[in-house]
Structure 1
Amino acid sequence: MPLRYVDPNRTRGRSYERGVRFGRSPVGQLFARHVARRTDPYLFRLTGGRVNMGPIINAPLVSTGAKSGQRRQTQLTYFHDGSDVILIASNYGKRRHPSWYFNLTVHPECEFGDEPFTATEVTDPEEYARLFALAEKVYPGYDDYREKTSETGRQIPIMRLTPR
């Protein structure tokens, strides 16, 4: 099943806007952290990536554990920048980077949506700003997460996945 192309500049409709409003609410955040992240991997497999729990498209990242060397899978929201996939390591605005970020920095070879990629962190400030602005078009809640992390001094990493 090929990875669905997610254009960050695409015009989105009212149902998307309603879904984003719910996703940014406290109940929506609770739902995303405790329900959707567990059910979305099954929906991805069952429907070939055509159905998600919410309006935002996501797919499974399969990486190698930074410390354990074990295979790890995490369902993540993404968008495309040309043929590259962009991942935002927001971790819901928590104080610490998500585990998958550390996995990709140690072991950059990965699979995303069953396709092989190599990950690199975006470090150029202009490129970072451009990609974060695109990410906010895909999910405006990233701005909420950036606000939360700025209080702790954490900058949300952006990872670029380049097809192998």
Structure 2
Amino acid sequence: MARQKEQRRPGTPGAFSRWMQQKMNARMVRKVRRGRGSMMGMDVLVLTTVGRRSGRTRETPLAWFPDGPDAWLVVASGGGGQHPDWHANLMAHPERASIELAGAGPRPVTPHRLAGADRERAWSRISAAQPRIAKYQSRSDREYPVIRLTPR
């Protein structure tokens, strides 16, 4: 029987790319849980969300930036022309979100999508700390959401 070619939206990754991303994410999640929470000079946390359609638990390693003594900023950059799946899942079920910092257990958080002057102030700090993120943003047609995570 001939294999059918995978049907996908233009600009979305193929099966091999998705498989590779899942493997890399799983490896980074293990590193964070073992207490090594950095990659390419950025601090990394594990964001746990619930799939908006599947209802399944999803774990995503993300770069984070401090926002005061007890809050964390994450950027929904992801490749392509749409926000990453973790962002849609987080916004669909904000009450079920949690994070894990390097070597620490899960802690429930509440997400707040920043807008206006709050977003601009946060974006200034993020892009100063990691210019590569600003470079990615400059190549995108969409504005990357900046999410503040605070303890629940």
TM-score, normalised by the number of residues in structure 1: 0.70
Q: Which residue matches 1:155?
A: 143
Superposition deviation, residue 61 in structure 1: 0.4
Aligned Cα RMSD in Å?
2.0
Question: Is the 1:36–1:53 contact (alpha carbons within 8 Å) kept by the matching residues of 2?
Answer: no
Q: Tell me, yes or no, if structure 1 residue 103 matches structure 2 residue 111.
A: no
Superposition deviation, residue 68 in structure 1: 1.4
Superposition deviation, residue 51 in structure 1: 4.6
In the alignment of these two chains, the number of paired residues is: 126
3-state SS in 2 of match to 1:59: strand
Q: Tell me, yes or no, if structure 1 residue 116 matches structure 2 residue 108.
A: yes
Q: Tell me, yes or no, if structure 1 residue 91 matches structure 2 residue 91.
A: no
Distance 1:105 1:51, change over 3 A: closer
Question: Is the 2:98–2:108 contact (alpha carbons within 8 Å) kept by the matching residues of 1?
Answer: yes
Aligned equivalent of 2:123, options 101, 108, 132: 132
For the pair shown, the structure with the greater C-alpha radius of gyration is: 2
Can you give the 5+ residue segments of structure 1 that lack an aligned partner in the other structure? 1-32
Deviation readout 1:60-117 (Å, 9 max, x if unpaired)? 100111111111000000011112111100114x211000110111111211112110
Distance 1:97 1:74, change over 3 A: same
Aligned equivalent of 2:59, options 64, 67, 73: 73
Superposition deviation, residue 39 in structure 1: 2.1
Quote the sequence identity (%). Answer: 29
Deviation readout 1:98-139 (Å, 9 max, x if unpaired)? 00110111111211112110112112x111111011111231
TM-score, normalised by the number of residues in structure 2: 0.75
Paired amino acid for 1:122: L
Paired amino acid for 1:88: V
Question: Is the 1:121–1:158 contact (alpha carbons within 8 Å) kept by the matching residues of 2?
Answer: yes
Can you give the 5+ residue segments of structure 2 that lack an aligned partner in the other structure? 1-19, 101-105
Counterpart-to-counterpart distance in 2, 1:53 and 1:81: 19
Deviation readout 1:24-76 (Å, 9 max, x if unpaired)? xxxxxxxxx85754421111122x2x353432110110011111111100000
Moved over 6 A (4+): none
